[in-house]
Chain A
Amino acid sequence: MGKIRVLVGKPGLDGHDRGAKVVARALRDAGMEVIYTGIRQTPEDIVNTALEEDVNIIGLSILSGAHMKLCEKVLKLLNEKNAKIPVFLGGIIPEDDIPELKKMGIAEVFGPGTSLETIISKVKEIAGTN
């Protein structure tokens, strides 16, 4: 496949976008095509953009604690549109929520302190299996 296309999205009302932006830049520097949505996107916005931009993978960044509801919505919408785009998540995500998120269909969860290198290689791996 050609260049991996990634959508980095910030669903919900949280405006802390340092992590999302730094990850977006790192993925771009790693040779991927990155679309960053900016803050305060609805799950609908994110899924629509992902489809329009024909991305291989979606990354979500959520720090406000709203991750369960927002991830569920994004995955549901993708499912409804029959889009098989893997989704990874970063932010302040309590350890105990991770099994449930994975069960829901989130491909990977990156907590605080994850190195960019780890994120880049995981994204390549997940997008590659697409």
Chain B
Amino acid sequence: MYNKDKINEISEKKKQWEETTLKKTLEKFPERKETFKTTYNEELKRVYTPEDIQDIDYLEDIGFPGEYPFTRGVQPTMYRGRFWTMRQYAGFATAEESNKRYKYLLEQGQTGLSVAFDLPTQIGYDSDHSMSEGEVGKVGVAIDSLKDMEILFDGIPLDKVSVSMTINSTASILLSMLIAVAEKQGVSQDKLRGTIQNDILKEYIARGTYVLPPEPSMKIIVDIFEYGSKYLPKFNLISISGYHIREAGANAVQEVAFTLADGIAYVEAAIKAGLDPNVFGKNLSFFFNAHNNFIEEIAKFRAARKLWAKLMKNKFNVTNPAALRLKFHTQTAGSTLTAQQPLNNIIRVTMQALSAVLGGTQSLHTNSYDEALGLPTELSATIALRTQQIIAYESGVTDTIDPFAGSYVIEALTKDIEEKAMNYIDKIEKMGGMVKAIEDGYVQKEILNSAYESQLAVENNEQIIVGLNKFTVEEEQKSGSILKVDPEVEERQKEKLKQLRKERDNELVKKNLLKLRNAAENNENLMPFILDAVKSYATLGEITDVLRDVYGEYHEAVIL
């Protein structure tokens, strides 16, 4: 962007400044810290200048919004056309209660739904399974069969509201339930808009709700891609998730690197199964974390977008621009919220959300301030949504695209994160790919090391957390009321299941489950069979049991 002479002049001037102006000040007033660092341990410079971005070519590396390499955003008009989707992750107790919360959030101006399922639903256990004890309806809504799903979306028009479902190992079943409910509402599946998370690799790395071993899990994901590319053109068939990787302790570079490495593994698996990345590439989406370090986070989102476009183009020869674009959902960082002085979390969430917006997110969840204590109440969930609305309508940052582009530090960090993430990706490639790196425990170990280091930094007061290790108060103000799920929910859910098993056509269920088993044994695409089973009201647990039986269960190697 600058000619060589200009850069030399700037370098000269900088040296002078260091020897004169700066030196005098440093002698009198030393800086707060010996070194200032990024989350990924790179030393931050005191000041960035055109020198630091002299190797960046505007047209090649930055470009224009909606064009390769999409550094400035995936759409040509970004938020001048339409704001990001405000999509609060919600769900608890039963389908009835969650349905009420969804309707409330939609009335408050939320523009998309995001369903949180309880752990038994995520791991393929019915509510009456012994492993489900104590967990039913706790961290999300309990869904045992199509019946629950019908209640969950009662009165919510699925052709108008896009639905995101955080579901992975049982994604094929929940997606089938969504298709079936839509059909009952008279909405054909090609009109469905939304996302299923469907990212099993990050479950092995960071989140733990896996069921089957990696190989059959990947096969089912490819089944979903194949089915979805044909019948669900408007649906994102995967949300490749760095969020949980970051929550587990990864730094910004690791978040980008491991997420994109997962993405590569999915693309490779799909290509191997004969799918065209120019087609299914459009239906991939991503999910990132918005953490505390404002500047670094903006750079991170830009770097991820640019790196993915390059990878898709150079590695997989993708030419369709729609399949080169990295679209992403963002959630503010739950793990940064403190139980101490919980109202401070509103400010943390605001800054994190702002970094996501400045980074060009397509969809956003803002956490509620009481989440270090329990599930959000209606009040805290409303404030979280209002935070997004204030950024959107009042802050002005949405009126021009990618407003921080060209900032010396933002561009320098964007490049730095891109390069460092690429180094990780190359390293993983050399190890035999992401599935192998996960099986070997390499990725988990890297993340744990970062998690431990950052905890030690807090312990040593190198990292300040307001209200936790500085500016603490003796008498903690607590957040007030916390939402608690009634233990009765579990009983009610079990009762519903009993009733369902009595009322449905059990012969048909048996037949459909047998067909599913045959399809699994014969390596067919499972989606049509799961869909039939779901429609006959086979339960989530029954369907998962068939898959467990055919493919076996995964048990992680414990890594410490």
Contact = CB atoms under 8 A, between A and B. Distances in A.
Interface of A: 12-18, 21-22, 24-26, 28, 34, 36-40, 42, 64-66, 68-70, 92, 94-95, 111-113, 115-117
Nearest to A10: B208
B133 interface: yes
User: How big is the B interface, by class?
Assistant: 35 or more
Nearest to A115: B459
A24 B458 CA distance: 17
Contact of A38 (B123, B482, B556): B556
A36 B556 CA distance: 12
Contact of B249 (A18, A28, A95, A115): A18
B448 interface: yes
Contact of B131 (A37, A38, A42, A94): A42
B339 A24 contact: no
A21 B340 CA distance: 22
B236 interface: no
A13 B123 contact: yes
A16 B120 CA distance: 15
B248 interface: yes
Contact of A113 (B138, B338, B558): B338
B134 A70 contact: yes
Given A112-B373, A113-B339, 18 more contacts: A13-B119, A13-B123, A15-B203, A16-B207, A16-B208, A16-B247, A17-B248, A22-B455, A25-B448, A37-B558, A42-B131, A65-B375, A92-B372, A92-B374, A94-B373, A94-B484, A95-B478, A116-B456
Nearest to B122: A13
A16 B339 CA distance: 17
Which 3 A-B pairs have CB atoms at the shortest separation, nearest pair first? A15-B208, A69-B134, A66-B134
Contacts of B134: 12, 66, 68-70
B139 A22 contact: no
6 contacts: A12-B135, A13-B123, A15-B208, A18-B451, A38-B558, A94-B484
B26 interface: no
B478 A69 contact: no
Contacts of B335: 18
A15 to B, nearest CB: 2
B452 A22 contact: yes
Contact of A64 (B139, B338, B559): B139
Contacts of A36: 558, 560
A12 B125 CA distance: 12
A112 B374 CA distance: 11
Contact of A40 (B138, B208, B374): B208
B119 A12 contact: yes
B455 to A, nearest CB: 5
A19 to B, nearest CB: 9
Q: Which of B125, B209, B485 has the most A CB atoms < 10 Å from its CB?
A: B209
A18 B244 CA distance: 11
B455 A116 contact: yes
Interface in B117-143: 119-120, 122-123, 125, 131-135, 138-139
B374 A13 contact: no
Nearest to B557: A38
A20 B60 CA distance: 45
Nearest to B248: A18
B468 interface: yes
A98 B39 CA distance: 34
B119 A24 contact: no
A24 B559 CA distance: 11
Interface string B71-111: 00000000000000000000000000000000000000000
Contacts of A15: 203, 207-209
A13 B131 contact: yes
A47 B252 CA distance: 38
Given A64-B119, A69-B133, A25 B207 contact: no
Q: Which of A12, A13, A22, A116 has the most B CB atoms < 10 Å from its CB?
A: A13
Contact of B247 (A18, A40, A66, A113): A18
Contacts of A116: 455-456, 459
Interface string B470-496: 000000001000101101000000000
A115 B373 CA distance: 17
B484 A25 contact: no
A36 B448 CA distance: 14
Nearest to B555: A38
Nearest to B458: A115
A26 B459 CA distance: 11
Contact of A94 (B120, B340, B374, B558): B374
Interface in B442-479: 448, 451-452, 455-456, 458-459, 465, 468-469, 478
